[in-house]
A and B are shown apart, each in its own frame.
Chain A
Amino acid sequence: MELTANEKRLLAELGNLGSAEASVLADALSTDAAAVVQWAHLAAGRGLVQVSREVQEEYRLTEEGEAYARDGLPERQVVGSIDGEIPMGELSRHPLAKVAIGWMRKNNWITIDRGIAKKADSTPESPEELALKKIAAGVADPGECGELKSRGLVTVHEEVRWIIEITPDGKKLLEAGIDLRPEVGTLTREQIISGSWRDEALRRYSLATPPRRIYPGKPHPYRQILDEVRTLLLEMGFSEFSGNIVQSVFWNFDALFQPQDHPAREMQDTFYLDLTSPLPDGWEKIRDMHEHGGETSSTGWGGSWDRRKAEGSVLRTHSTALSIQYLAAHPEPPVKGFSLSRVYRRESIDPTHLAEFEQLEGIVMDEYVTFSHLLGFLKEFYHRMGFPDVRFRPAYFPYTEPSVEPEVWVDGLGWVELGGAGIFREEVTSPFGISHPVLAWGLGISRVAMLRLGLKDLRQLYKSDIDWIRNTPSYRRI
């Protein structure tokens, strides 16, 4: 059995005293009572001492209580001021009347009749007065102090005393002799170089005492998921692109063949800005596409396309606004690109809907890429994201045709919709001179984060509890 130096000192002291209160031992050992109790508990764990806790209640008068102990309770002071009878109106002018009237009635010291208070013939000592007297004299009876406590005249103080007593085992150990040399904690440079550490009693540290918790600086748990996705796409040969949060209505909607009266464009769903954005060269091709399908087999939306609407500005509602600009700048195949960017929707904020969240979008443009290849990319991507079971369902998005909605199997939830995909409509690509199919897929990555991190409330990602970050492990198996 390896005792700490402090346990040994405590035991040695108890060898003389047998049993003592912690504060007494603390004086003898030049420390504080809390430390003694801590050492004693350690030694008690080895059966060398016994620790007992005694609690004593002490009743103390509050400042107000002190005053009443001296001058009498309000009801006594007020009743003393009454001579026979007094109208209530007059009585209530006494500064203590508010407290006193109820108590005087309860004590049957007065009776009130038609607004006149009449003093009783005798006003014997009330239980409260008796209790107050006892407390002042230091002989409080806990059973009698309830009323005074609730009147705020008395407070109860608990005093804890720790009694430590050496056990027969402790005595035996002491008799066998213990090494009382002071223990060495942290080694000094001197002790290491000179080798004098060999002569010291080195403290042995207990593994039973948990270490202090320290917290490393670390990436946000959500960042780790975003970085995994980025790495995964870079590994698959995709190049990353990014762009401005503020986009013209032209790039956000018109270039994606979203009709100008589409409900998603309305103020209720999209954040608009008081800012005019100039149209890029070649905007006429987009107009023609909307009005009659340009030079494709499309009919277009019909009606007339309003240039002024396209010149408006919005906070980008989807990362597709960036994808189409990336394609416009890189119209020659092959192109494999992705962006991971925040998008904005004018939604009321609740646990599963936020006005801003991250969207991943991947695009592949090449000669002869097909819808089957799109499904192949989706399968590969979700497998690498840790979802082995993927299935596909028809979907509708204004700028893709055919469109598809991938679903992944999540234990406990079943099939979960996770993003959307499709081939960009020819109405979208042809105005920019893109003559090969563009496979595209998008994913609200915060939904993946919710699933992976087991979150109930998306806001935790952005307005984070630091303890949640501290206590979420950095590593998790995929």
Chain B
Amino acid sequence: MAIITLNYEYLERLTKTDKDTILKALPMIGSDIERLEEDHADLEFFPDRTDLYSVEGVARAMRGFLGIETGLPEYPVLESEIRFSVDPALAGIRPILGSAVIRNLRFDDASIESVMALQEALHWAIGRGRSKVAIGLHDLSAITPPFHYIASPRDRQFVPLDYTEPMTMDQILADHPKGRAYAGIVEHFDRFPLIVDANDQVLSFPPIINGELTRVTSDTTDILLDVTGTDERAVQNTVAIICSAFAEAGGTIQSVIIDGQKTPSLAPVERIIDCDECARLLGLPLTPESIIPLLEKMRFGAEPLEGSNVLVRVPCFRADIMHDWDIFEDVAIAYGFDRFPATLPPTFTIGTEDPASRLARIVSGIAIGLGYTEVMPFTLTNERVSYQLMQRPRSDAALTVLHPISIENTMVRTDLLPMLLEILQLNTHRELPQRIFAVGDVNDGAITYQKVAGAAIHPSADFSEIYATVDAILRELGVETLTIAESDDPAFLSGRQGAIMNGSEKTGCFGELHPDVIVGFDLEHPVIGFEIDLRPFL
């Protein structure tokens, strides 16, 4: 989620009301107040509401929500003769260009700050770290149209932003902080994206860095916007959000002709919604008459059509409206979540327990009756604990994750007993005897199933205790087909262990843990344990 800084003075000026009213209303449209400072507040907005990533956008939404100015905001685009060309060689590199000219701006610190923050937030939210979309703003007075978006040789030189000497684009990727940060997006291409003007002066090396030539300052009044990327819709959404924010700040939007195509379009998208469908989904008694003011409060244009249909004009900056239900949610927000009736439906159903949970519950009861206390170890573990310390070979059932967060968590557990020994290891300073068990998920490859395991540590723990314990559990589980057989599991002492057999298949083990295993887990007393696959009981 994006954190946006709202300068109070600027926000109040644009919203035309006081900050306290605004800050009280903002959580009701879903934003979280992160910090309140002397002259500004930091707010968190949803990742889909990119139109709220500027003071201008928040003010526009708040004027609607607070009833100061409702309905569709319109942004006329005036004609201009400024042309832009796109080099077909960019096809496999970064083919999409969006552009506009914004004139008559009067920047102050608060509005420059807001625009810069918007640009940065969009780079992440829509641009996916500039790979999908990158934005450039240029002082139009420094350059001459027409402009050209080209695939340039990598040794082309220009002076990047914040530098005084020309550098090649390769040098920029190696040495400029922005170059190093975003090199991964372009470095594998033979040619790099570059924007130049009629006199071959460099405006920008998208998505990396602008030229120093077109730096935007508080004296800038006219701006050329370039938005480059790999996805047409994302690029156009970005252009619309930035242009509408500039328009809110008092700018005039002018078109740019890209390869003969006039751009941008800041016209609304029309959708016909069914008011009855909205009422049914929300559980509210809505009519076209009552829904229209709610839509207008959220800055949609709305007109009644035949029957229960309503024509909704979705403003160009609402990239998140993909489906009618997205509009219904806005109706719910405008209505106010706190005003909703919260009722239960008459749906009749009978609840049933998952058979694996039922078995786990019963097995736990048996273990507890035998004096064992439940623990709930992690399901992520590693091969050292699962196999090495247990003196067992690595199991084919183990699936390792590709990018573990630490050497502790490299695989999903295939056994529970090592996890129990690890918990005993944490509790060496606690009173003995300790008897613990766990019932839970283990993996066999990609398949999850349940096991139960128990372990006990005390000075007189021995084979006869664990044999009696396992015998009691198996009797309580009432499956008579299981048998006990000789076993040679290296985790246990030879001659002091057994295997639980389901026909010819080994389905469990028990015994006195091998002293090398005991010492491996930093334990100092005899330890006994068992582990049983629960699948034969299901």
A residues lining the B interface (CB < 8 Å) = 215-220, 222-223, 227, 230, 233-246, 261, 263, 267, 271-275, 277, 293, 296-303, 313, 315, 334-336, 342, 344, 346-349, 355-356, 364, 366, 368-373, 375-380, 391-396, 401-405, 423, 425-427, 437, 461-467, 469-470
Of the A-B pairs whose beta carbons lie under 8 Å apart in the complex, a sample of 14, sorted by A's number, is: A219-B368, A237-B350, A239-B350, A246-B447, A274-B402, A356-B379, A366-B347, A371-B281, A373-B283, A396-B47, A401-B325, A461-B376, A464-B375, A466-B373
Q: Using Cβ atoms and an 8 Å threshold, which residues of chain A touch B369?
A: 217
B76 within 8 A of A: no
Cβ contact within 8 Å between A342 and B379: yes
Cβ contact within 8 Å between B403 and A462: no
* Interface segment, one of B179-187, B301-309, B327-335: B327-335
Cβ contact within 8 Å between A379 and B342: yes
Bound together, the chains give a CA A240 to CA B351 distance in angstroms of 7
Bound together, the chains give a CA A237 to CA B348 distance in angstroms of 8
Cβ contact within 8 Å between B354 and A242: yes
Q: Using Cβ atoms and an 8 Å threshold, which residues of chain A touch B357?
A: 230, 240, 242
Cβ contact within 8 Å between A271 and B401: yes
Q: Using Cβ atoms and an 8 Å threshold, which residues of chain A touch B435?
A: 217
CB < 8 Å: which of B351, B353, B370, B431 contacts A336? B351
A298-B323 contact given A222-B376, A465-B427, CB 8 Å threshold: yes
A395-B30 contact given A273-B402, A426-B323, A462-B378, CB 8 Å threshold: yes
Cβ contact within 8 Å between B345 and A373: yes
Q: Using Cβ atoms and an 8 Å threshold, which residues of chain B touch A364?
A: 345, 347
Binary interface profile of B, 387-420, with partner A (CB < 8 Å = 1, else 0)? 0000000000001111111100100100000000
- Return the chain A residue nearest B233 by Cβ: A302
Q: How far is the CB of B538 from chain A (nearest CB, A)?
A: 12
Cβ contact within 8 Å between B374 and A220: yes
Bound together, the chains give a CA A392 to CA B426 distance in angstroms of 42
Max chain A Cβ within 10 angstroms of own Cβ: one of B132, B427, B435: B427
Cβ contact within 8 Å between B401 and A273: yes
Q: Using Cβ atoms and an 8 Å threshold, which residues of chain B touch A271?
A: 401-404
A336-B349 contact given A240-B357, A298-B323, A402-B329, CB 8 Å threshold: yes
Cβ contact within 8 Å between A427 and B323: yes
Please report which residues of chain B, range 259-313, place their CB below 8 angstroms from some CB of chain A when the two chains form the complex.
271, 280-284
Q: Using Cβ atoms and an 8 Å threshold, which residues of chain A touch B283?
A: 370-373
Bound together, the chains give a CA A125 to CA B404 distance in angstroms of 70
Please report which residues of chain B, range 424-483, place their CB below 8 angstroms from some CB of chain A when the two chains form the complex.
426-427, 430-431, 434-436, 441, 443, 445-448
Binary interface profile of B, 338-359, with partner A (CB < 8 Å = 1, else 0)? 1011111101111111101100
Cβ contact within 8 Å between A313 and B353: no
Cβ contact within 8 Å between B375 and A220: yes
B189 within 8 A of A: no
Q: Using Cβ atoms and an 8 Å threshold, which residues of chain B touch A469?
A: 373-375
Q: How far is the CB of B418 from chain A (nearest CB, A)?
A: 13
CB < 8 Å: which of A217, A222, A396 contacts B49? A396
Q: How far is the CB of B198 from chain A (nearest CB, A)?
A: 34
Cβ contact within 8 Å between B338 and A391: yes
A463-B340 contact given A245-B443, A336-B351, CB 8 Å threshold: no
A246-B412 contact given A267-B403, A464-B423, CB 8 Å threshold: yes
B27 within 8 A of A: yes
- Return the chain A residue nearest B274 by Cβ: A297
Q: Using Cβ atoms and an 8 Å threshold, which residues of chain A touch B328?
A: 401-402
- Return the chain B residue nearest A378 by Cβ: B342
Q: Using Cβ atoms and an 8 Å threshold, which residues of chain A touch B368?
A: 216-219
CB < 8 Å: which of A313, A372, A396, A425 contacts B282? A372
Bound together, the chains give a CA A348 to CA B405 distance in angstroms of 7
Q: How many residues of chain B get a CB closer than 8 Å to chain A's CBs?
A: 87
Q: Using Cβ atoms and an 8 Å threshold, which residues of chain B touch A366?
A: 345, 347
A263-B128 contact given A315-B401, A376-B342, CB 8 Å threshold: yes
Cβ contact within 8 Å between B351 and A238: yes
B521 within 8 A of A: no
Cβ contact within 8 Å between B448 and A245: yes
A293-B353 contact given A216-B371, A396-B47, CB 8 Å threshold: no
Q: Which 8 A-B pairs have the closest CB atoms?
A: A370-B283, A372-B283, A394-B30, A396-B46, A402-B329, A240-B354, A375-B342, A298-B323
Bound together, the chains give a CA A233 to CA B350 distance in angstroms of 11
B361 within 8 A of A: yes
Q: Using Cβ atoms and an 8 Å threshold, which residues of chain A touch B326?
A: 401
Cβ contact within 8 Å between B354 and A241: yes
CB < 8 Å: which of B322, B325, B332, B436 contacts A466? B436
CB < 8 Å: which of B48, B323, B374 contacts A293? B323
Bound together, the chains give a CA A219 to CA B361 distance in angstroms of 10
B18 within 8 A of A: no
B367 within 8 A of A: yes
Q: Using Cβ atoms and an 8 Å threshold, which residues of chain A touch B445?
A: 246
A463-B351 contact given A218-B374, A404-B337, CB 8 Å threshold: no
Bound together, the chains give a CA A243 to CA B436 distance in angstroms of 26
Q: Using Cβ atoms and an 8 Å threshold, which residues of chain B touch A237?
A: 347-351
Max chain B Cβ within 10 angstroms of own Cβ: one of A364, A371, A391: A371
- Return the chain A residue nearest B361 by Cβ: A227
- Return the chain A residue nearest B435 by Cβ: A217
Bound together, the chains give a CA A243 to CA B356 distance in angstroms of 10
Cβ contact within 8 Å between A277 and B342: no
CB < 8 Å: which of B340, B352, B372, B430 contacts A375? B340
A463-B423 contact given A273-B399, A334-B349, A423-B325, CB 8 Å threshold: yes
Q: Using Cβ atoms and an 8 Å threshold, which residues of chain B touch A462?
A: 376-378
Bound together, the chains give a CA A39 to CA B328 distance in angstroms of 81
Q: Using Cβ atoms and an 8 Å threshold, which residues of chain A touch B427?
A: 465-467
Q: How far is the CB of A185 from chain B (nearest CB, A)?
A: 24
Bound together, the chains give a CA A377 to CA B370 distance in angstroms of 39
Q: Using Cβ atoms and an 8 Å threshold, which residues of chain B touch A336?
A: 347, 349, 351
Cβ contact within 8 Å between B128 and A261: yes
Q: Using Cβ atoms and an 8 Å threshold, which residues of chain A touch B376?
A: 220, 222-223, 461-462, 464
A246-B132 contact given A217-B371, A372-B341, A466-B436, CB 8 Å threshold: no
Q: Using Cβ atoms and an 8 Å threshold, which residues of chain B touch A239?
A: 349-352
CB < 8 Å: which of B233, B282, B441 contacts A371? B282
Bound together, the chains give a CA A335 to CA B345 distance in angstroms of 12
- Return the chain A residue nearest B403 by Cβ: A267
Q: Using Cβ atoms and an 8 Å threshold, which residues of chain B touch A246?
A: 399, 412, 443, 445-448
Q: How far is the CB of A350 from chain B (nearest CB, A)?
A: 11
Cβ contact within 8 Å between B374 and A223: yes
In addition to A355-B380, A393-B337, 11 A-B residue pairs with Cβ atoms within 8 Å of each other are A218-B368, A241-B354, A244-B448, A246-B443, A334-B348, A356-B380, A366-B347, A375-B342, A376-B345, A395-B46, A464-B376
Bound together, the chains give a CA A373 to CA B344 distance in angstroms of 5
B28 within 8 A of A: yes
Q: Using Cβ atoms and an 8 Å threshold, which residues of chain A touch B332?
A: 371, 394, 402
Cβ contact within 8 Å between B280 and A368: yes
Q: How far is the CB of B8 from chain A (nearest CB, A)?
A: 23
A299-B402 contact given A219-B374, A239-B349, CB 8 Å threshold: no
Q: Using Cβ atoms and an 8 Å threshold, which residues of chain A touch B161?
A: none
Max chain B Cβ within 10 angstroms of own Cβ: one of A267, A349, A405: A349
Q: Using Cβ atoms and an 8 Å threshold, which residues of chain A touch B340?
A: 371-372, 375, 392
B117 within 8 A of A: no
- Return the chain B residue nearest A358 by Cβ: B376
B231 within 8 A of A: yes
Q: How far is the CB of A303 from chain B (nearest CB, A)?
A: 6
Cβ contact within 8 Å between A346 and B402: no
Bound together, the chains give a CA A275 to CA B404 distance in angstroms of 15
Q: Using Cβ atoms and an 8 Å threshold, which residues of chain B touch A216?
A: 368, 371
- Return the chain A residue nearest B357 by Cβ: A240
Q: How far is the CB of A259 from chain B (nearest CB, A)?
A: 10
A245-B412 contact given A315-B401, A342-B379, A402-B282, CB 8 Å threshold: yes
CB < 8 Å: which of B233, B337, B426, B448 contacts A463? B426
Bound together, the chains give a CA A424 to CA B475 distance in angstroms of 46
- Return the chain B residue nearest A239 by Cβ: B352
